[in-house]
Structure 1
């Protein structure tokens, strides 16, 4: 599984790169703040909502600490999706939140 650090994600966003970020935390966790442009799909719904994703697009998976996003990344990768797990999750995120 490919990985990316929170700082690398922040730098890409600062450079104006369009990233496809999926936040797999629960809705009540996301209310406290998420990375701007991130889409919330709780881990328990990833399998049900795979049809909304494109296998030709790379997705950065995010959660609180990196564990759930790692599981989501493994699941999606096994189904042929291009995914990268953000290590450390939102606990390690130092960038802007919305």
Structure 2
């Protein structure tokens, strides 16, 4: 009996994970570094990492709107311009895109592999 409960819970967890994965792929575009580089200057470039991570190094021209503050700072993000998101690896960018999509944002893009895979110019506070 307990085994069936565990198996059922495991199936639910896997199904929820798959649902979130495919929903994220539907609402945003994951861009290679080259694709990201081609478009981010014409877009709103947002680093969703925490301020200490941002200060340690970020893509030149990025604004820091941490995922933890995003709900309160939506007024800073325009709905009529593309939004380019990145975090350290991609998990927070996905969550940010889902949050923005719920608020009516449509042109959502994410850097594949996140900042840790970025090879372009960066800026860091000294």
| RMSD value, Cα | 1.6
- Identify the structure with bigger relative contact order (alpha carbons < 8 Å, sequence gap 6+): 1
Give me the TM-score of the superposition, normalised by structure 2. 0.69
Report the structure, 1 or 2, having the larger helix content: 2
Mapped to 2, the partners of 1:63 and 1:17 lie a distance apart of 17
Which consecutive residues of structure 1, in runs of 5 or more, have no partner in the other structure?
none
Which consecutive residues of structure 2, in runs of 5 or more, have no partner in the other structure?
1-27
Kindly name which structure, 1 or 2, has the bigger radius of gyration based on alpha carbons. 2
Alignment CA distance shift 1:77-1:28 (3 Å): same
Runs of 4+ in 1 over 4 A off after TM superposition: none
Alpha-carbon distance, 1:19 to partner: 3.0
Give me the TM-score of the superposition, normalised by structure 1. 0.88
Query: What is the aligned length?
Result: 95
